[in-house]
Structure 1
């Protein structure tokens, strides 16, 4: 009886050894599987990280340094005879690399009968590429459409018409209409053109005073298109001579002064009477510049 007890203890001890080995083996396999699963999860999350889209860089990083020089002197002499300021009047701007403009006006009384009044203004607006807002070209295209709509909605405009025109930038539209003011009939043509990320808005109009004939719409359109071609060419020439991106202010962040420039919306000119440029009653008295 006493001798069988030690034998029983040894048998139980030996039987316990395989059980412990099995337990250790299971524990080891479980750890290995856990590491594999963790590695797989980590790899999956890394590969699933989305890539941030990029926008197309803006084509033009600057505007013509002098907006009044963007249209040739010969063209100004032809379109605005006897201009008050032959060199033009530059509009106000907080950043000339983003927004600029210039205007000319004059009353030519050298004819046999009456006088001819002409007004010409040109405005340039450049858009930067922006990750949140889109490429400069896309934003300029949106503004191009906006400016056409604005021209067609000119206060008091009659017989409004809009037509796409070729050969001026990447896309261009000419808006024509008639307007009665200062007791005279004016003919208007506004050319809105886009090249890359720059929009050019040019308005040309005229009227006959003191019995002179009103200019034809065809003549006004022809003059506006010629000036617009030169303005677009000035933008493209500037790009060739300008280093990449200066990082100027965005066109949408212009100051109130920018919005009031004559070329931007033609408000000063359209008002006609009440400003010093109005030719009303000055057919023979307008001073020469």
Structure 2
């Protein structure tokens, strides 16, 4: 007689458990709905961040100049004959892993006057182009930072004496000439460094001269004038290479001062080039 009662009890207990299962199931469904809302919020945040990054990139000015000129062609033949008469046709292009961003060329000249001594000249032009970057800034800004570093480097060459600096007008957006004396075992070198920035490109021109084996030391003012004219011409070449104006339009095709260099035999120029380079400012 007790078995029917026990069976009824078990049925009632089982029936009571069913709503509990439905309740658990219902909670699980609600939780899923909550996750969906969280996913939507995450997607919106991601989209917002992406839009912000796009706006930042759009706010950075596009680099003005997209390429650099051939480094050994940035100066006219007449200018080269004035500055480095015996090496005008022997430009040496520097090595570069990316010629669209960094190029250079150098020339050297030795005017051998026999027992009267020799006049040595060394010229180097380097160009560095900066692309705009959303994280780092515009090409102009990056070039401006590098321009400042180059000027400071030229002003702080080890062993330099009588260092002087002055702005150069009419050459790019900004330009500075640095001059100093540097004593080497071969003689006393007169160094001229002109650093110029035109938009997103920085041009660094180094020019030095020395009187060797008893010849007189070249006039620093003549060298400075020659270097400034050559730097202006190099800047104009950057503009011309990108289809904007020309060296002639900017007046940069004018030759440097004839007294800046002398002409004669060049047999020993290459022997002195490495020491002359050491007289220049810090190179790239």
Both structures adopt the same fold (TM-score exceeding 0.5): yes
1:9-158 → structure 2 map (5 Å cutoff): 49=48, 51=52, 52-53=55-56, 54-64=59-69, 66-83=70-87, 86-110=89-113, 113-158=116-161
After TM superposition, give the deviation of residue 114 of structure 1 in Å: 1.8
- Partner of 1:194, secondary structure, is strand
Structure 2 unaligned spans of 5+: 1-36, 245-269, 276-284
- Partner of 1:214, secondary structure, is coil
Q: Are 2:205 and 1:210 aligned?
A: no
Q: Are 2:198 and 1:195 aligned?
A: yes
Distance 1:279 1:194 in 2: 27
After TM superposition, give the deviation of residue 111 of structure 1 in Å: 7.9
* TM-score, structure 1 normalization: 0.65
Structure 1 unaligned spans of 5+: 1-37, 242-274, 281-289
- Partner of 2:202, secondary structure, is strand
Q: Indicate conservation of the 8 Å contact 1:117/1:279, yes or no.
A: no
After TM superposition, give the deviation of residue 187 of structure 1 in Å: 0.4
What whole-Å deviation, never above 9, does each CA across 1:191-212 have from its counterpart, x for those lacking one?
Answer: 0000000000000000011221
Distance 1:97 1:180 in 2: 36
- Partner of 2:85, secondary structure, is coil
Which protein is richer in helix relative to its size? 2
After TM superposition, give the deviation of residue 277 of structure 1 in Å: 3.0
Q: 1:277 aligns with which of 272, 279, 283?
A: 272
Distance 1:278 1:194 in 2: 27
1:205-244 → structure 2 map (5 Å cutoff): 205-240=208-243
Q: Which has the larger radius of gyration?
A: 1
Q: Are 2:170 and 1:167 aligned?
A: yes
After TM superposition, give the deviation of residue 278 of structure 1 in Å: 4.4
Task: Provide the alpha-carbon RMSD of the alignment.
Answer: 2.4
- Partner of 1:206, secondary structure, is strand
Distance 1:221 1:55 in 2: 37
* TM-score, structure 2 normalization: 0.66
- Partner of 1:133, secondary structure, is coil
Distance 1:62 1:86 in 2: 24
What whole-Å deviation, never above 9, does each CA across 1:46-68 have from its counterpart, x for those lacking one?
Answer: 9xx5743220000000000x200
After TM superposition, give the deviation of residue 279 of structure 1 in Å: 9.1
In structure 2, relative to structure 1, the CA distance for the partners of 1:129 and 1:107 (3 Å cut) is same
Report the more deviating stretch, 85-94 or 133-142.
85-94
